[in-house]
Structure 1
Amino acid sequence: MPVTEFAILPLKHPLTENSTSPPALLQKLQIAREVLEEASKYKFYYFQQIEDPSTMYIIGKWDSPEAHYTFLASPENQKLLELFKEDIYIEETNGKIMQMWHLDDDVFAVPSGAEWVFTAPVISCNRHFVLKENKPSFIEKFNEVRGLLEKYTKPYGVVGGWRIETEDEEKEEWVLFSGFESVDHHMEFAKTDGFVKYREIVGFVSAFELKHLRAVVGL
Protein backbone atom coordinates (compact mmCIF):
# COMPACT_ATOMS: atom_id res chain seq x y z
CA MET A 1 0.00 0.00 0.00
CA PRO A 2 1.30 3.51 -0.80
CA VAL A 3 2.34 5.74 2.08
CA THR A 4 1.59 9.41 2.67
CA GLU A 5 4.39 11.99 2.77
CA PHE A 6 3.77 14.74 5.32
CA ALA A 7 6.30 17.59 5.17
CA ILE A 8 6.39 20.81 7.20
CA LEU A 9 8.12 23.81 5.59
CA PRO A 10 8.91 26.85 7.80
CA LEU A 11 9.35 29.87 5.54
CA LYS A 12 12.12 32.42 6.07
CA HIS A 13 9.85 35.25 5.00
CA PRO A 14 6.71 35.30 7.19
CA LEU A 15 3.38 35.87 5.52
CA THR A 16 0.59 37.93 7.04
CA GLU A 17 -2.62 36.08 7.88
CA ASN A 18 -4.51 37.33 4.84
CA SER A 19 -1.65 37.37 2.34
CA THR A 20 -0.95 34.96 -0.44
CA SER A 21 2.46 33.55 -1.22
CA PRO A 22 4.89 35.76 -3.19
CA PRO A 23 4.71 35.05 -6.96
CA ALA A 24 8.35 33.89 -7.05
CA LEU A 25 7.70 31.35 -4.28
CA LEU A 26 4.55 30.13 -6.01
CA GLN A 27 6.57 29.54 -9.16
CA LYS A 28 9.19 27.55 -7.22
CA LEU A 29 6.50 25.49 -5.50
CA GLN A 30 4.95 24.69 -8.85
CA ILE A 31 8.35 23.53 -10.13
CA ALA A 32 8.80 21.37 -7.03
CA ARG A 33 5.37 19.81 -7.43
CA GLU A 34 6.10 18.88 -11.03
CA VAL A 35 9.37 17.21 -9.98
CA LEU A 36 7.72 15.36 -7.08
CA GLU A 37 4.83 14.13 -9.17
CA GLU A 38 7.15 12.98 -11.93
CA ALA A 39 9.23 11.03 -9.42
CA SER A 40 6.37 9.52 -7.40
CA LYS A 41 3.69 9.24 -10.11
CA TYR A 42 1.18 10.66 -7.60
CA LYS A 43 -0.41 14.06 -6.95
CA PHE A 44 1.03 16.51 -4.39
CA TYR A 45 -0.75 19.33 -2.59
CA TYR A 46 0.33 22.45 -0.67
CA PHE A 47 -1.29 23.88 2.45
CA GLN A 48 -0.68 26.82 4.76
CA GLN A 49 -1.09 26.79 8.52
CA ILE A 50 -3.76 29.21 9.72
CA GLU A 51 -2.25 29.70 13.19
CA ASP A 52 1.16 30.50 11.66
CA PRO A 53 0.84 31.43 7.96
CA SER A 54 4.63 31.27 7.53
CA THR A 55 4.41 27.49 7.90
CA MET A 56 3.55 25.51 4.80
CA TYR A 57 2.88 21.81 4.29
CA ILE A 58 3.36 19.30 1.50
CA ILE A 59 1.10 16.26 1.42
CA GLY A 60 1.76 13.63 -1.23
CA LYS A 61 2.13 9.93 -1.82
CA TRP A 62 4.86 7.39 -2.58
CA ASP A 63 4.82 3.65 -3.22
CA SER A 64 6.95 3.21 -0.08
CA PRO A 65 9.24 5.18 2.24
CA GLU A 66 12.20 3.61 0.44
CA ALA A 67 10.99 5.00 -2.89
CA HIS A 68 10.92 8.46 -1.33
CA TYR A 69 14.36 8.06 0.28
CA THR A 70 15.77 7.12 -3.12
CA PHE A 71 14.38 10.36 -4.52
CA LEU A 72 15.77 12.41 -1.60
CA ALA A 73 19.29 11.29 -2.55
CA SER A 74 18.78 12.08 -6.23
CA PRO A 75 20.26 15.01 -8.18
CA GLU A 76 16.70 16.20 -8.85
CA ASN A 77 16.01 16.66 -5.15
CA GLN A 78 19.37 18.34 -4.55
CA LYS A 79 18.40 20.90 -7.18
CA LEU A 80 15.13 21.54 -5.32
CA LEU A 81 17.00 22.10 -2.05
CA GLU A 82 19.21 24.62 -3.82
CA LEU A 83 16.14 26.27 -5.36
CA PHE A 84 14.52 26.81 -1.94
CA LYS A 85 17.59 27.66 0.17
CA GLU A 86 16.56 31.35 0.42
CA ASP A 87 12.92 30.55 1.19
CA ILE A 88 12.80 27.62 3.61
CA TYR A 89 14.71 26.71 6.78
CA ILE A 90 16.29 23.54 5.38
CA GLU A 91 18.86 23.45 8.19
CA GLU A 92 17.89 24.24 11.79
CA THR A 93 17.88 27.95 12.64
CA ASN A 94 16.37 29.29 15.87
CA GLY A 95 14.44 26.05 16.31
CA LYS A 96 13.00 26.12 12.80
CA ILE A 97 13.79 23.36 10.32
CA MET A 98 12.10 21.52 7.49
CA GLN A 99 10.54 18.26 8.69
CA MET A 100 9.32 15.25 6.76
CA TRP A 101 7.92 11.84 7.64
CA HIS A 102 5.49 9.24 6.37
CA LEU A 103 2.11 7.93 7.47
CA ASP A 104 1.35 4.25 7.08
CA ASP A 105 -1.95 4.84 5.29
CA ASP A 106 -3.18 6.56 2.15
CA VAL A 107 -4.91 9.79 3.20
CA PHE A 108 -5.90 10.36 -0.41
CA ALA A 109 -8.53 7.63 -0.10
CA VAL A 110 -12.05 9.05 -0.05
CA PRO A 111 -14.50 7.31 2.31
CA SER A 112 -17.67 6.05 0.63
CA GLY A 113 -20.39 8.71 0.59
CA ALA A 114 -18.04 11.51 1.72
CA GLU A 115 -16.05 14.30 0.11
CA TRP A 116 -12.26 14.26 0.25
CA VAL A 117 -11.17 15.97 3.47
CA PHE A 118 -8.58 18.17 1.71
CA THR A 119 -11.26 19.91 -0.33
CA ALA A 120 -12.70 21.47 2.85
CA PRO A 121 -12.17 25.23 3.44
CA VAL A 122 -10.33 24.36 6.68
CA ILE A 123 -8.55 21.10 7.53
CA SER A 124 -7.67 20.23 11.09
CA CYS A 125 -4.37 18.37 11.56
CA ASN A 126 -4.48 16.54 14.88
CA ARG A 127 -1.32 14.83 16.13
CA HIS A 128 -2.02 12.33 18.91
CA PHE A 129 1.03 11.08 20.84
CA VAL A 130 0.27 7.65 22.29
CA LEU A 131 2.41 5.46 24.53
CA LYS A 132 3.14 2.16 22.81
CA GLU A 133 1.36 0.16 25.48
CA ASN A 134 -1.76 2.30 24.99
CA LYS A 135 -1.88 1.97 21.18
CA PRO A 136 -4.32 -1.00 21.04
CA SER A 137 -6.68 0.70 23.51
CA PHE A 138 -6.45 4.00 21.61
CA ILE A 139 -7.30 2.28 18.32
CA GLU A 140 -10.26 0.52 19.90
CA LYS A 141 -11.58 3.73 21.46
CA PHE A 142 -11.05 5.82 18.32
CA ASN A 143 -12.90 3.28 16.18
CA GLU A 144 -15.71 3.40 18.75
CA VAL A 145 -16.12 7.20 18.63
CA ARG A 146 -14.96 7.98 15.10
CA GLY A 147 -18.51 8.09 13.78
CA LEU A 148 -19.33 11.01 16.09
CA LEU A 149 -16.65 13.14 14.42
CA GLU A 150 -17.63 11.98 10.94
CA LYS A 151 -21.26 12.91 11.62
CA TYR A 152 -20.20 16.43 12.59
CA THR A 153 -17.76 16.96 9.70
CA LYS A 154 -20.13 15.86 6.95
CA PRO A 155 -19.88 16.05 4.01
CA TYR A 156 -16.12 15.82 4.47
CA GLY A 157 -14.52 12.53 5.39
CA VAL A 158 -12.05 11.80 8.18
CA VAL A 159 -8.66 10.24 7.34
CA GLY A 160 -5.51 9.46 9.27
CA GLY A 161 -2.49 7.25 9.70
CA TRP A 162 0.28 6.23 12.07
CA ARG A 163 3.63 7.96 11.69
CA ILE A 164 6.26 5.51 10.44
CA GLU A 165 9.43 7.34 11.53
CA THR A 166 8.75 8.02 15.22
CA GLU A 167 10.87 10.39 17.30
CA ASP A 168 10.48 8.48 20.58
CA GLU A 169 10.73 4.70 20.73
CA GLU A 170 8.30 4.72 23.66
CA LYS A 171 5.59 6.62 21.76
CA GLU A 172 3.54 6.28 18.61
CA GLU A 173 1.93 9.17 16.72
CA TRP A 174 -1.53 9.11 15.13
CA VAL A 175 -2.13 11.96 12.66
CA LEU A 176 -5.77 12.70 11.87
CA PHE A 177 -7.19 15.05 9.24
CA SER A 178 -10.79 16.26 9.26
CA GLY A 179 -12.56 18.97 7.28
CA PHE A 180 -14.57 21.97 8.48
CA GLU A 181 -16.19 25.09 7.07
CA SER A 182 -14.06 27.28 9.35
CA VAL A 183 -11.93 27.18 12.50
CA ASP A 184 -14.99 28.32 14.47
CA HIS A 185 -16.97 25.43 12.99
CA HIS A 186 -14.36 23.05 14.37
CA MET A 187 -14.36 24.69 17.79
CA GLU A 188 -18.15 24.35 17.99
CA PHE A 189 -17.73 20.57 17.97
CA ALA A 190 -16.60 20.83 21.59
CA LYS A 191 -20.06 22.17 22.49
CA THR A 192 -21.97 19.22 21.05
CA ASP A 193 -23.30 16.19 22.90
CA GLY A 194 -21.21 13.95 20.65
CA PHE A 195 -17.98 15.55 21.81
CA VAL A 196 -18.59 14.41 25.39
CA LYS A 197 -18.22 10.82 24.19
CA TYR A 198 -15.56 11.58 21.54
CA ARG A 199 -13.16 13.16 24.04
CA GLU A 200 -12.80 9.81 25.78
CA ILE A 201 -9.84 9.23 23.47
CA VAL A 202 -7.94 11.77 25.62
CA GLY A 203 -7.56 9.06 28.25
CA PHE A 204 -5.24 7.13 25.90
CA VAL A 205 -3.14 10.11 24.71
CA SER A 206 0.00 11.43 26.43
CA ALA A 207 0.15 14.65 24.36
CA PHE A 208 -1.79 16.34 21.58
CA GLU A 209 -1.18 19.00 18.92
CA LEU A 210 -3.83 20.73 16.84
CA LYS A 211 -3.22 22.94 13.82
CA HIS A 212 -5.55 24.17 11.08
CA LEU A 213 -4.59 24.18 7.41
CA ARG A 214 -5.98 25.67 4.24
CA ALA A 215 -5.00 25.27 0.61
CA VAL A 216 -2.32 27.69 -0.60
CA VAL A 217 -3.91 30.40 -2.74
CA GLY A 218 -2.53 30.28 -6.26
CA LEU A 219 -1.71 26.58 -6.22
Structure 2
Amino acid sequence: MPVLEVTQLRLKGVSAADRGLLRNLSLVRDALQTNSRFYHCTEDPSLIYIFGLWPSLDAHLEFLASPRSSEVLGPQEEQLDFQWALHMNLDAMSSLPLDAPVMAISMVVIKEHDIDAYNQSITATRRLFSDASRPYRIVNGWRCDPTSRNHEAVMFTGWPSVEAHSAFVTEGRKNPDFARMEALYQTVEVRHARTLESNGPS
Protein backbone atom coordinates (compact mmCIF):
# COMPACT_ATOMS: atom_id res chain seq x y z
CA MET A 1 0.00 0.00 0.00
CA PRO A 2 1.27 3.53 -0.70
CA VAL A 3 2.63 5.41 2.28
CA LEU A 4 2.97 9.10 3.00
CA GLU A 5 6.39 10.21 4.17
CA VAL A 6 6.42 13.31 6.38
CA THR A 7 9.89 14.66 7.08
CA GLN A 8 10.72 17.65 9.25
CA LEU A 9 13.94 19.51 8.43
CA ARG A 10 15.62 22.55 9.96
CA LEU A 11 17.01 25.26 7.72
CA LYS A 12 20.73 26.01 7.92
CA GLY A 13 21.76 29.50 6.88
CA VAL A 14 18.90 29.97 4.42
CA SER A 15 15.29 31.12 4.64
CA ALA A 16 12.24 29.23 3.44
CA ALA A 17 11.96 31.80 0.63
CA ASP A 18 15.42 31.00 -0.76
CA ARG A 19 15.10 30.08 -4.44
CA GLY A 20 18.10 27.79 -4.26
CA LEU A 21 16.40 25.78 -1.52
CA LEU A 22 13.26 25.23 -3.57
CA ARG A 23 15.37 24.36 -6.60
CA ASN A 24 17.24 21.65 -4.68
CA LEU A 25 14.03 20.27 -3.20
CA SER A 26 12.47 20.16 -6.66
CA LEU A 27 15.48 18.30 -8.08
CA VAL A 28 15.08 15.62 -5.41
CA ARG A 29 11.36 15.37 -6.14
CA ASP A 30 12.08 14.87 -9.84
CA ALA A 31 14.69 12.20 -9.09
CA LEU A 32 12.48 10.24 -6.69
CA GLN A 33 9.11 10.71 -8.41
CA THR A 34 7.35 10.96 -5.05
CA ASN A 35 5.02 13.83 -6.02
CA SER A 36 6.44 15.69 -3.03
CA ARG A 37 5.06 18.90 -1.54
CA PHE A 38 7.08 21.39 0.47
CA TYR A 39 5.74 23.38 3.43
CA HIS A 40 7.19 25.76 6.01
CA CYS A 41 6.12 25.92 9.65
CA THR A 42 4.28 29.03 10.84
CA GLU A 43 5.21 28.53 14.51
CA ASP A 44 8.92 28.10 13.75
CA PRO A 45 10.09 29.61 10.42
CA SER A 46 13.32 27.60 10.61
CA LEU A 47 11.39 24.35 10.06
CA ILE A 48 10.09 22.91 6.80
CA TYR A 49 8.10 19.79 6.03
CA ILE A 50 8.36 17.50 3.03
CA PHE A 51 5.37 15.32 2.13
CA GLY A 52 6.09 12.53 -0.34
CA LEU A 53 4.20 9.45 -1.50
CA TRP A 54 6.04 6.13 -1.82
CA PRO A 55 4.72 2.87 -3.35
CA SER A 56 5.33 1.19 0.02
CA LEU A 57 7.19 1.68 3.28
CA ASP A 58 9.79 -0.85 2.14
CA ALA A 59 10.42 1.17 -1.03
CA HIS A 60 11.40 4.23 0.99
CA LEU A 61 13.49 2.30 3.50
CA GLU A 62 15.33 0.51 0.68
CA PHE A 63 16.11 3.85 -0.96
CA LEU A 64 17.48 5.29 2.30
CA ALA A 65 19.76 2.25 2.71
CA SER A 66 21.05 2.45 -0.86
CA PRO A 67 24.12 4.31 -2.22
CA ARG A 68 21.74 6.37 -4.36
CA SER A 69 20.37 8.02 -1.21
CA SER A 70 23.57 10.01 -0.63
CA GLU A 71 23.78 10.91 -4.30
CA VAL A 72 20.23 12.27 -4.45
CA LEU A 73 19.98 13.87 -1.00
CA GLY A 74 23.56 15.11 -0.74
CA PRO A 75 22.95 18.55 -2.31
CA GLN A 76 20.51 19.38 0.51
CA GLU A 77 22.91 18.76 3.38
CA GLU A 78 24.38 22.27 3.38
CA GLN A 79 20.91 23.78 3.66
CA LEU A 80 18.96 21.35 5.82
CA ASP A 81 19.30 19.35 9.05
CA PHE A 82 17.15 16.25 9.45
CA GLN A 83 14.84 16.36 12.50
CA TRP A 84 12.44 13.43 12.17
CA ALA A 85 10.33 11.44 9.73
CA LEU A 86 7.17 9.37 9.95
CA HIS A 87 5.05 7.27 7.60
CA MET A 88 1.32 6.78 7.35
CA ASN A 89 -0.74 4.72 4.90
CA LEU A 90 -2.29 7.02 2.29
CA ASP A 91 -3.92 6.26 -1.04
CA ALA A 92 -2.97 9.44 -2.90
CA MET A 93 -1.32 12.81 -2.34
CA SER A 94 -4.59 14.44 -3.40
CA SER A 95 -6.18 13.14 -0.16
CA LEU A 96 -4.26 15.83 1.74
CA PRO A 97 -5.72 19.35 2.10
CA LEU A 98 -3.13 20.76 -0.30
CA ASP A 99 -5.45 23.51 -1.52
CA ALA A 100 -5.86 25.01 1.96
CA PRO A 101 -3.99 28.22 2.87
CA VAL A 102 -2.92 26.52 6.12
CA MET A 103 -2.45 22.83 6.88
CA ALA A 104 -2.64 21.69 10.50
CA ILE A 105 -0.42 18.70 11.32
CA SER A 106 -1.59 16.98 14.50
CA MET A 107 0.45 14.17 16.04
CA VAL A 108 -1.00 12.35 19.03
CA VAL A 109 0.38 9.55 21.19
CA ILE A 110 -2.31 7.20 22.49
CA LYS A 111 -1.92 4.53 25.16
CA GLU A 112 -2.40 1.01 23.83
CA HIS A 113 -5.51 0.32 25.87
CA ASP A 114 -7.12 3.51 24.51
CA ILE A 115 -6.68 2.77 20.79
CA ASP A 116 -10.23 1.48 20.23
CA ALA A 117 -11.70 4.38 22.19
CA TYR A 118 -9.66 6.85 20.15
CA ASN A 119 -10.80 5.31 16.86
CA GLN A 120 -14.40 5.62 18.03
CA SER A 121 -13.82 9.24 19.06
CA ILE A 122 -12.34 10.12 15.68
CA THR A 123 -15.38 8.62 13.97
CA ALA A 124 -17.69 10.60 16.25
CA THR A 125 -15.88 13.92 15.79
CA ARG A 126 -15.03 13.72 12.09
CA ARG A 127 -18.24 15.53 11.18
CA LEU A 128 -17.22 18.40 13.45
CA PHE A 129 -13.89 18.73 11.66
CA SER A 130 -15.50 18.38 8.25
CA ASP A 131 -18.15 21.04 8.87
CA ALA A 132 -15.63 23.51 10.31
CA SER A 133 -12.88 23.06 7.73
CA ARG A 134 -15.01 22.71 4.58
CA PRO A 135 -14.16 22.83 1.69
CA TYR A 136 -10.74 21.46 2.64
CA ARG A 137 -9.98 17.77 3.02
CA ILE A 138 -9.34 15.86 6.23
CA VAL A 139 -7.19 12.76 6.46
CA ASN A 140 -6.06 10.78 9.48
CA GLY A 141 -4.35 7.50 10.26
CA TRP A 142 -1.77 5.72 12.35
CA ARG A 143 1.98 5.95 12.06
CA CYS A 144 3.21 2.73 10.43
CA ASP A 145 6.96 2.92 11.11
CA PRO A 146 8.20 -0.43 12.47
CA THR A 147 10.68 1.27 14.82
CA SER A 148 8.08 3.46 16.50
CA ARG A 149 7.57 2.40 20.13
CA ASN A 150 4.41 4.44 20.58
CA HIS A 151 0.91 4.32 19.13
CA GLU A 152 0.92 7.58 17.21
CA ALA A 153 -2.10 8.95 15.40
CA VAL A 154 -1.71 11.62 12.75
CA MET A 155 -4.28 14.02 11.32
CA PHE A 156 -4.02 16.60 8.56
CA THR A 157 -6.70 19.28 8.28
CA GLY A 158 -6.97 22.37 6.09
CA TRP A 159 -7.92 25.86 7.29
CA PRO A 160 -8.16 29.40 5.92
CA SER A 161 -5.88 30.55 8.75
CA VAL A 162 -4.18 29.43 11.95
CA GLU A 163 -6.71 31.50 13.87
CA ALA A 164 -9.60 29.60 12.28
CA HIS A 165 -8.17 26.30 13.51
CA SER A 166 -7.58 27.68 17.01
CA ALA A 167 -11.15 28.98 17.16
CA PHE A 168 -12.46 25.57 16.09
CA VAL A 169 -10.52 23.80 18.85
CA THR A 170 -11.78 26.26 21.47
CA GLU A 171 -15.37 25.79 20.35
CA GLY A 172 -14.93 22.05 19.83
CA ARG A 173 -14.02 21.49 23.47
CA LYS A 174 -17.62 22.31 24.33
CA ASN A 175 -18.66 19.17 22.44
CA PRO A 176 -18.69 15.99 24.60
CA ASP A 177 -17.26 13.78 21.83
CA PHE A 178 -14.42 16.22 21.19
CA ALA A 179 -13.66 16.47 24.90
CA ARG A 180 -13.58 12.67 25.23
CA MET A 181 -11.17 12.45 22.30
CA GLU A 182 -8.76 14.97 23.84
CA ALA A 183 -8.92 13.14 27.17
CA LEU A 184 -7.32 10.12 25.46
CA TYR A 185 -4.20 12.03 24.40
CA GLN A 186 -1.02 10.99 26.16
CA THR A 187 0.89 13.69 24.30
CA VAL A 188 -0.09 15.94 21.41
CA GLU A 189 1.83 18.22 19.06
CA VAL A 190 0.11 20.49 16.57
CA ARG A 191 1.95 22.51 13.95
CA HIS A 192 0.67 24.68 11.14
CA ALA A 193 2.31 24.99 7.75
CA ARG A 194 2.01 26.87 4.48
CA THR A 195 3.16 25.75 1.06
CA LEU A 196 6.51 26.91 -0.29
CA GLU A 197 5.10 26.69 -3.82
CA SER A 198 2.39 29.28 -4.22
CA ASN A 199 1.88 28.32 -7.87
CA GLY A 200 1.97 24.58 -7.29
CA PRO A 201 4.79 22.10 -7.99
CA SER A 202 7.24 23.21 -10.65
Q: TM-score, normalised by structure 2?
A: 0.89
Where in structure 2 are there 5+ consecutive unaligned residues?
none
Q: What do the CA deviations read for 1:176-207 (whole angstroms, capped 9, x no partner)?
A: 00000011111111343x44222321111111
Preserved contact between residue 130 and residue 138 of structure 2 (Cα < 8 Å): yes
Aligned to 1:188: 167
- Corresponding residue of 1:204: 184
The corresponding residue for 1:144 is: 124
Aligned partners of 1:3 and 1:106 also within 8 Å = yes
DSSP-derived class of the 2:154 partner:
strand
Q: How many residues align?
A: 197
Give, as a single letter, the amino acid of the residue that structure 1 aligns with 2:191: K
SS at match of 1:98: strand
User: Could you tell me the percent identity over the aligned residues?
Assistant: 28
* Whole-Å separation in 2 of the counterparts to 1:62 and 1:125: 19
> Superposed, which structure 2 residues align to 1:7-156 within 5 Å?
7-13=7-13, 15=15, 20-37=16-33, 42-89=34-81, 97-106=82-91, 108=93, 110=95, 116-156=96-136
Distance verdict in 2 for CA 1:174–1:46, change over 3 Å: same
Larger strand proportion of the pair: 2
Gapped runs of 5+ residues in structure 1? 90-96, 111-115
The CA distance in 1 between the partners of 2:181 and 2:143, in whole Å, is 18
Deviation at 1:157, TM superposition (A): 1.5
Hey, which bits of structure 1, 4+ residues long, moved more than 3 A?
Answer: none
Instruction: Please state whether the residue corresponding to 1:149 is helix, strand or coil.
Output: helix
| Kept after mapping to 1: 8 A contact 2:143/2:153 | yes
How far residue 26 of structure 1 moved from its aligned partner, in angstroms, is 1.6
Q: Cα RMSD (Å) of the superposition? A: 1.9
| TM-score normalized by the length of structure 1 | 0.82
